[in-house]
Structure 1
């Protein structure tokens, strides 16, 4: 996992501050309520007076790690406090053998389409985490039969992709300046020959290498169009991917206060902003494993104060083919959800890769 401890921030806390801070955060994550000094003194975990605890809580608040919803309330961790706790103090355990078997049994390819598999994984994550499950899939990957380029105007054209199953997708593209009609035909014929019966991702590297080594027998205009098409269709701008969200209603089941209702409403609005949510999940591509976004760390959740735990799922070549995760209140059970997301992502990647190898 890619979660590391921020030693410089932890170094600012002495042993007492660290102990009290941990107690407050863990109590908050269990209940969702602000934690008072009297509650801590009566927990049996601390041998300090309420006055001593209050003084330490004030110091932690001065450091920006705790806040109070109002003057007479207890304290709760800020987003910065939660980040410090998760990165530096949280002990993330491993899933038990039974939990792993349950995930493997529920997320299987047997008799299912890829979409059904991912939908099941999303529902599973939502149910086990108490939040909503998210999955973003890669662009359509299916064997191709034919490719051609159709001019629409001086500045726009269509890349027409005909798949083996007979389906057709039209991709709007920018027309390169001064490209002759013959180059459109040559580029389409070249790609049709190289891609027939193969997916874009399977053939892309070989085609790019052939062009780089001047073995394509194409002129510079047609070569440029081929490279533009491969870039646009294999993850470039305008890539359309599927976003699956399951379990939004579960977020309503744990409302503890009227104020929570407004935050959940804002969270639902955030989820509806598909393009920004897909962009957020794409950031998992920068991490080796689980990535965590807490509240205002990402502009998408600055108002709803939500957390997202996300991990990529990969194929056997360690190429990222999608991402999945959980979205919910900032008081998610991070110690449980982080390994849950991590393992589910690995299982999904293995299953999809195995299914692909049998095709």
Structure 2
């Protein structure tokens, strides 16, 4: 696990000379490839300039003083710190581009030959694909409110409780328990469902709620107070909660995160991460922050509280609908030694494919 170092003074990273940058780059690249510490002798062998191990060791001491690398054990080689990885990603890393073969594979697997599928199936496939390509865990966050509605039905379960069955145009079905007003007649449930179904088909949740509100004003005489309350309860149940948009989390390939486990303490940290993924609240907040920005974002280790114990990283990108609105986010969770230069364009391109397909 990468240790959190002291934070370098402002401007100190920009003052690193070219030789120090090259040595630091080799240390990070070795770590990303092997996950193991690297010593001055091995670094000196791969430098493009002739430099003795002693000279490399002096530079490594300076880099350690800056908080960019650290020694996990006495007399061992060096590993990059989280600050060092952030500096590498922001200032030194060369982001590659996907080959035509890779782009074709991503498009083919996400589209699955053009066979009709629900949006959830598309997103699950995208999550599975990212997991396979990155050897990490593929994740997707989507807003259910953007699904287009097809049908709604109310079923009384007992006095004061009912079941709302909501069907999307893509075939997804949601069942939610709602409170029913006391003394509500069964005819009101039928009337509420008929009223909604006559006006919501093909609309998103936000569009449906706006339309229902408009029609309720225009046709108030057609709905008594109890029926109106059922209409409202049915639409709110689709949203999941009145206080915010509903969100669905899809995670695939969690077992890939176990491949780098080397000690019992690493296994415990990953167990805690899995527990957090199950609760998913922190991850939804993290992906939500990615939704509010453009392009790929990278979160390394303790930069986010979700990964502060597990030492994991997240590469994530928002995806958009045909109106260019951000409707979700997808990405990869993995160890901090992810191949960022390869995964960044992979996540970015997959987000574009998913957005185009679901738009």
Short-chain TM bin: 0.7 to 0.9
Structure 2 equivalent of residue 3 of structure 1: none
Match of 1:132 among 134, 137, 142: 137
Q: Where in structure 1 are there 5+ consecutive unaligned residues?
A: 1-6, 176-180, 354-359
CA spacing shift, 1:280–1:38, aligned 2, 3 Å? same
- Which of 102, 127, 146 is the aligned partner of 1:122? 127
Distance 1:229 1:92, change over 3 A: farther
- 1:82 is matched with which residue: 60, 82, 85? 85
Cα distance in 2, alignment partners of residues 21 and 226 from structure 1: 62
Q: What residue in structure 1 maps to residue 353 of structure 2?
A: 347
The alpha-carbon deviation at position 240 of structure 1 amounts to: 4.2
Q: CA deviation at 1:234?
A: 5.2
Residue number in structure 2 paired with 1:108: 111
CA distance in 2, matches of 1:163, 1:276: 28
Counterparts of 1:166 and 1:281 in 2: how far apart (Å)? 23
Shift of the alpha carbon at 1:233?
5.4
CA contact (8 A) 2:164 2:237 kept: no
* C-alpha distance after superposition, 1:259-292 (max 9, x if no partner): 5444433433333332222222222212211111
CA deviation profile, 1:50-85 (whole Å, cap 9, x unmatched): 222222212222222112212221111111111111
Aligned to 2:70: 67
1:298 corresponds, among 284, 304, 308, to 304
Q: Is the 8 A contact 2:332 2:347 kept in 1?
A: yes
Runs of 4+ in structure 1 deviating by more than 6 angstroms, as ranges, are 156-159, 184-192, 205-208, 225-232
Q: Secondary structure at the match of 1:25?
A: helix
Aligned mates of 1:255, 1:27 — CA distance in 2: 18
Say which of 17, 21, 29 aligns to 1:26.
29
Tell me, yes or no, if the aligned pair for 1:34 and 1:75 is still in contact at 8 Å: yes
- Once the 2 structures are TM-superposed, how far is the Cα of residue 328 of structure 1 from its aligned partner? 0.7
* Unmatched tracts of structure 2, length 5 or more: 1-9
Per the alignment, residue 17 of structure 1 pairs with 20
Displacement of 1:345 after TM fit? 1.1
Give the TM-score normalised by the residue count of structure 1: 0.76
SS of alignment partner, residue 107 of structure 1? helix
Residue 21 to residue 313, structure 1, CA distance change in 2 (3 Å): same
CA distance in 2, matches of 1:348, 1:216: 39
Output the CA distance in 1 between the equivalents of 2:309 and 2:11: 29
Q: TM-score, normalised by structure 2?
A: 0.76
- CA displacement 1:302-357 (0-9 Å, x = unmatched): 0100001111121111122222111110000000001001111111111122xxxx
| 1:82/1:117 CA distance change after superposition, 3 Å | same
Structure 1 CA distance for aligned equivalents of residues 178 and 232 of structure 2? 15
Pick from 322, 325, 332 the counterpart of residue 316 of structure 1: 322
Structure 1 CA distance, aligned partners of 2:87 and 2:240?
34
The residue number in structure 2 matching 1:178 is none
Q: For residues 79-228 of structure 1, what are the structure 2 equivalents within 5 Å?
A: 79-109=82-112, 110-114=114-118, 115-139=120-144, 141-145=147-151, 162-163=166-167, 169-170=175-176, 194-203=199-208
- Whether the 8 Å CA contact 2:249–2:280 is kept in 1: the answer is yes
Q: Structure 1 residue 293: deviation in Å?
A: 0.7
Q: Which moved more, 1:232-241 or 1:92-101?
A: 232-241
Q: For residues 102 and 162 of structure 1, what CA distance do their matches in structure 2 show?
A: 34
Q: Could you tell me how far apart the structure 2 residues matched to 1:158 and 1:87 are?
A: 53
